[in-house]
Amino acid sequence: MNNEKIEFFNNLDIRVGRIVKAEVFKEAKKPAYKLNIFFGDDIGFKKSSAQITNYKISELIDRKCIAIINIGSRQIGPFTSECLVLGSQDSEGVVLLLDVDSQAKPGDKIS
């Protein structure tokens, strides 16, 4: 691996979060949810737009997720997304959230 790529990865701030609120993002061009995610007391809450409507809102509340929190904000219509929730994408384009160990806490750094 080249040092540039390792340094790029090390500069990403990837954290465990807990989804505390999810609602349909009515104004989005593609089906999506607006999420409010808690990243521990030091970081607090961040918002994200995610195309994960294959999940029911009730399945998302209190679910842990993994997100990149230092890539800046992105304006999506009337909503500002502050972090990028990570998942795998299957052959049909369905995004599946990455699982987090039950002992991981909001704010834990992914390395």
Is 108 within the bounds of a domain? no
Q: What CATH number is given to the structural domain containing 51?
A: 2.40.50.140
Q: How confident is the model at residue 9 (pLDDT cuts 50, 70, 90)?
A: confident
Is 34 within the bounds of a domain? yes
- The total domain count for the chain is 1
Is 41 within the bounds of a domain? yes
Is 103 within the bounds of a domain? no
The closest of 5, 8, 79 to 46, measured between CA atoms, is: 79
Is 107 within the bounds of a domain? no
What are the tens digits of pLDDT across the range 47-77? Answer: 999 999 999 999 999 999 999 999 999 999 9
Provide the domain limits for residue 93.
3-97
Is 23 within the bounds of a domain? yes
Is 64 within the bounds of a domain? yes
Surface-to-core class of residue 51, CB atoms within 10 Å of its CB (0-12 exposed, 13-18 middle, 19+ buried): middle
User: Considering the entire predicted model, what is its pTM?
Assistant: 0.93
What are the tens digits of pLDDT across the range 34-53? Answer: 999 999 999 999 999 999 99
Is 36 within the bounds of a domain? yes
Query: Would you say residue 1 has pLDDT above 80?
Result: no
- How big is the chain by its Cα radius of gyration, in Å? 14
**Percent of residues, the chain, with pLDDT higher than 70:** 99
Token pair belonging to 9? 């990865």
